[in-house]
A and B are shown apart, each in its own frame.
Chain A
Amino acid sequence: MRLRKVADRAVRGVFLANAILSAVVLLGILAFLLFYGVRTFSGTPLLKFLFGTVWNPDAYGEPSYGLLPLLLGSFASTAIALLIAIPLGIASAVFISERLKGWVRVTVKTLVELFAGFPSVVIGFFGLVVLAPLIARIFNVPSGLNLLNAGLLLGLMSLPTIISVADDALRVVPHSYREAAYALGATPWTTATRIVLPAARSGILAAVMLGFGRAVGETMAVLMVAGNAALMPKSLFDPIRTITSTIAIELGESAFGDTHFYSLFALGFVLFLLALATNLIAESLIKREKRSFTL
C-alpha cells in the first residue's frame, strides 16, 4: 500500500518534470527570440520595421528593415497555396473517406501520409526543374521563379496534411448519420456534402489550420522557387521573398551583434505571432462550434 503510493507519486513527479521541461524550453526559445529581436529597434525604429516597404539590410549607407514585403510574400504565397489546397484537399478527403473501401483506401491513405513526410528540398527541386520552366513557357514570362510557383508548390505541400487530417475528421463522423441519410433516399454525394461534412466541421477546420501552418512555415522549397527578391509583389509573376526564407538566407551573412542580425530574430518573432494568432483563431472557432453543438 505504501509502496504503491510512493510509486504513484514518483510517476506523477516524472510526468510533471517532463511537462515543466518542455514548457521551459519553449518559453526559453520565445524569450530568446524576444530578447534578441527587440535589439533591432535600437538600430531602426519599430514603426519603420512594421510598415517599411523596403527590406534591404545590405544597402550602403542607410540599410532598411521593412517587414511588409516579406510579410506580404509569406501571405500571398500561403493564400495561393490554400486557395488550391483547401478545396482540393477536402474534396480528396471526402472521396477517400466516403467512396474508397478496404485495401484501396488503406493504400491511398498511406501514400498520402507518405507524401506528407516528403523532404521539402526534393519538392523544391521539382519546382525548380519542372514547374519553373513550365510556368515561364505557359505564361510567357522571363522567369518561372515567382509567386505563382511558390504558391503552387506550397499548395502541393500542404495538400497531404489537409487530406490526411480531414479524412480522419470525416471517418469519426458516426456511421449512423450516414445510414439515416441513405435511408431517406439521399445519394452518397448529398450525404457527404450535407450531413458528413457539416458534422466534421471542427476537424476540417483543424485540417485547414494545419495546412496553413505547413505553408507559412515552409522554408526550403519556397526559397528554391520564389525568386527571393524582397520586393512588394504586384503580380503572380513577380518574385517574392518569404519571412522564413529571409531568415534562412541572411542569418549566415549577417554579423553577430549587428542590427541586421537582430532583425532576423524580430522576423522570427513575427512568425511566432502569426502562428499564435492562427492557433487562437482556430481554437475559438472550434470552441464556438462546440458550443452551438451542445446548445
Chain B
Amino acid sequence: MPESKITVEKLNLWFGENHVLKDVSFSIPPNAVTAIMGPSGCGKSTLLRTVNRMNDLILGTRVTGDIRIDGQSIFADTTDVIDLRKRVGMVFQKPNPFPKSILENVAFGPRIHRMGNHADIQQRVEQALRHANLWDEVKDRLHDNAFSLSGGQQQRLCTARCLSVEPEIVLLDEPASALDPHSTARLEELIRQLKQDYTVVIVTHNMQQAARVSDWCAFLMLGELVEFGRTENIFTKPKDRRTEDFLTGKFG
C-alpha cells in the first residue's frame, strides 16, 4: 500500500433505502492521479462526492465508516465542511461556469475566502488560469461572459476556478464526458500536470481514459470495490474476474 493522502475505511452509504456504497476501503496516494472506474450506476460518482461531502446536500443520505484526509476524519465534529471543500476542490461532469465573466468565475473562490486584496486576487486568477492551461486563450477577454467559451475551455475554466482557492485535492467527476476528442486530449494533459501539485482523483466510465491519465486505479461495481492497485497492474494482470470482464468489454 502506498503512502496515503485520503483513506477510505469501510465506507457505507445509503440514499434512503438504497445501499449505494458497500464496505469500500482503499487509500489514495498523494501527488498522483487515482482513477475510479466502473460501469454506470456503480456508485463511483457518489464515492467521489463523499470525499468533499457534497452528498450532504441530498436529503436522506446516511453514511457509516470513515474517510480521512491526512489522518483527519472528514465526518468529525471538528471538521468544518466549508474548510473541507476549500481543501478538496471539484470539477463536475458538465462544465458549469457561473453566468459571470471569465475573471469573476475564477475570482469568486478567492473573494469569498478573503484570500487577499484586489491585486492579490487578480494575481491568483492569472495563476489559476495558467495552471489550467487557459491563460493564453483568455488573457485578452477576461471580462467576456464565461458562456462565450467552448465546452472544453469552459471545463478548463471550471478547473481554474477549482484551483483558485489552492486546494490540496482535486476531484474530477467524469470531466471529459461532455467534450469532443480534441478538448478531451487537452484536459487529460492538464490532469496529468496537476498531480505535481495536487492529489487528483478522477471518476470515469471510460477505461482508456483511466489507462491514459491515472497512476492508481480503483474498480467499482454495484457499490463494491472489486480491485485497487497500480494502473498498469490492473490493466495488464487484473486479479479479479469481474475486472477482467469489464476491461475486455464483456459489460460496461
Which A residues form the contact surface with B (CB < 8 A)? 101-102, 174, 176-177, 179-187, 190, 194-195, 198-199, 292-295
* B145 and A295 within 8 A (CB): yes
* B99 and A184 within 8 A (CB): no
- Cα-based distance from A252 to B124 in the complex (angstroms): 71
* A183 and B94 within 8 A (CB): no
* B144 and A295 within 8 A (CB): yes
B87 CB to nearest chain A CB (Å): 8
* A295 and B148 within 8 A (CB): yes
- Cα-based distance from A199 to B100 in the complex (angstroms): 9
12 contacts between A and B (CB under 8 A): A180-B96, A181-B98, A183-B85, A184-B165, A185-B82, A185-B83, A185-B112, A185-B165, A190-B112, A199-B99, A295-B144, A295-B148
- Cα-based distance from A289 to B94 in the complex (angstroms): 25
B162: CB under 8 A from chain A? yes
* B144 and A184 within 8 A (CB): no
- Cα-based distance from A155 to B161 in the complex (angstroms): 41
Contact partners of A186 in chain B: CB under 8 A? 82, 108, 112
**Interface of A (DSSP majority class):** helix
* A185 and B113 within 8 A (CB): yes
Which residue of the partner chain A has the closest CB to B87?
A185
B99 CB to nearest chain A CB (Å): 5
Contact partners of A294 in chain B: CB under 8 A? 145, 147
Contact partners of B59 in chain A: CB under 8 A? 101-102
B223: CB under 8 A from chain A? no
Which of B57, B108, B165 is close to A194, meaning CB atoms less than 8 Å apart? B108
Which of B83, B84, B148, B161 is close to A180, meaning CB atoms less than 8 Å apart? B161
Given contacts A180-B98, A295-B145, 14 further A-B contacts (CB under 8 A): A174-B96, A176-B94, A176-B96, A177-B98, A180-B92, A183-B54, A183-B85, A185-B86, A185-B112, A185-B113, A187-B82, A198-B99, A199-B98, A294-B145
Interface set, chain B 155-171, CB cutoff 8 A to A: 158, 161-162, 165
Asked, given contacts A182-B54, A184-B108, A185-B112, whether A293 binds B83 with beta carbons under 8 Å apart, the answer is: no
Mark contacts of B91-132 with chain A using CB atoms, 8 A cut-off: 1 yes-contact digit, 0 otherwise: 010101111100000001100110000000000000000000
B152: CB under 8 A from chain A? no
Which residue of the partner chain B has the closest CB to A101?
B59
- B: contact size bracket: 20 to 34
Interface set, chain B 70-97, CB cutoff 8 A to A: 82-86, 89-90, 92, 94, 96-97
* A183 and B90 within 8 A (CB): yes
B131 CB to nearest chain A CB (Å): 16
A130 CB to nearest chain B CB (Å): 39
* B85 and A184 within 8 A (CB): yes
Which of A101, A182, A190, A293 is close to B99, meaning CB atoms less than 8 Å apart? A293
- Cα-based distance from A184 to B52 in the complex (angstroms): 10
A101 CB to nearest chain B CB (Å): 6
- Cα-based distance from A185 to B81 in the complex (angstroms): 8
- Cα-based distance from A190 to B112 in the complex (angstroms): 8
Which of A177, A184, A292, A295 is close to B109, meaning CB atoms less than 8 Å apart? A184
* A184 and B112 within 8 A (CB): yes
* B145 and A184 within 8 A (CB): no
B58 CB to nearest chain A CB (Å): 10
- Cα-based distance from A179 to B144 in the complex (angstroms): 23
- Cα-based distance from A190 to B144 in the complex (angstroms): 23
- Cα-based distance from A186 to B107 in the complex (angstroms): 13
Contact partners of A176 in chain B: CB under 8 A? 92, 94, 96
Q: Which of A101, A102, A295 has the most CB of B within 10 A?
A: A295
B105 CB to nearest chain A CB (Å): 9
* A293 and B145 within 8 A (CB): yes
Contact partners of B97 in chain A: CB under 8 A? 180
Mark contacts of B135-146 with chain A using CB atoms, 8 A cut-off: 1 yes-contact digit, 0 otherwise: 000000000110
Which residue of the partner chain B has the closest CB to A173?
B99
Closest 8 CB pairs of A and B: A185-B86, A176-B96, A185-B85, A183-B90, A184-B109, A185-B82, A180-B96, A199-B99
B1 CB to nearest chain A CB (Å): 29
Contact partners of A177 in chain B: CB under 8 A? 96, 98-99
